[in-house]
Amino acid sequence: MDRKGILFVISGPSGVGKGTVKDAVLERIKDMRLSISVTTRAPRQGELNGREYFFAGEQEFQDLIEKDQFLEWADVYSHKYGTPRDFVMKNLQSGLDVLIEIDIQGALKVKSRMPDGVFIFIAPPSTKELQSRLCGRGKDSQESIIERLASCEKEMEHMKYYDYVVVNDVVKKAADQIEAIVMAERCKVKNIKIEVI
């Protein structure tokens, strides 16, 4: 039976482990297509253009906005990030599932445009643990960590707009739960293309 492509959106507060959990999910679900975002932030050590992100200048990003190339875009902690529309739409139309990992404001914009998507909120086990992860990954300044923790409180209020919540206490457990969500969504009758005989 042919299936419709399903859009899966993973989001949650900064430092909760979205990127880590996303990698674990992609390791298991090989036929899931990952949407690579465009960003104006500089590449970090080890990041490759077209693998983690498409890195763009401010003007290039602005041109993409004006050409309506983004499904959504947002300012996230001083840099712009956008989800390329064509990649998502083409894969879904071909019956392939697409995973996007974006911040909460981006996820809510996608939901307003694509309400059939499956929205998964990754929640921290506690604020203390979130703080320890933000400090532990060593990517953010003290000031930026304080800003992210303050945003987290407000961001948790948006959980109610999502279809699922997965608490990332242990990565394997979170990935197990997301895998179960993906498999269940794939079995939904509304996602099967029923041929008219």
Crossing angle (nearest 10°) for helices 127-136 and 142-156: 150
Residues 16-55, interacting with ligand 5GP (CB under 6 A): 18, 37, 41
Q: 72, 102 in Cβ contact below 8 A? A: yes
Which of ligand ADP, ligand 5GP, none sits in contact with 168, Cβ below 5 to 8 A by type?
A: ligand ADP
Provide the 10 A C-beta neighbour count for residue 70. 22
Instruction: Check residue 20 for interaction with ligand ADP (CB under 6 A).
Output: yes
In angstroms, rounded to a whole number, what is the distance separating the alpha carbons of residues 136 and 149?
14
Q: How far is the CB of 23 from ligand 5GP (least distance, A)?
A: 12
Asked if residue 14 binds ligand 5GP (CB under 6 A), the reply is: yes
Please, which residue, 118 or 130, has the CB nearer to ligand ADP? 130
| Piece of the chain touching ligand ADP by CB under 6 A; list 55-63, 65-73, 92-100, 168-176 | 168-176
Q: Does 15 bind ligand 5GP (CB under 6 A)?
A: no
Applying CB under 6 A, does 171 fall inside the site for ligand ADP? yes
Q: Would you say 50 or 138 has its CB closer to ligand ADP?
A: 138
- Report CA-CA distances (Å) from 97 to 58, 63, 129, 171: 30, 28, 32, 22
Task: Dihedral sign for Cα 70, 178, 119, 107, please.
Answer: negative
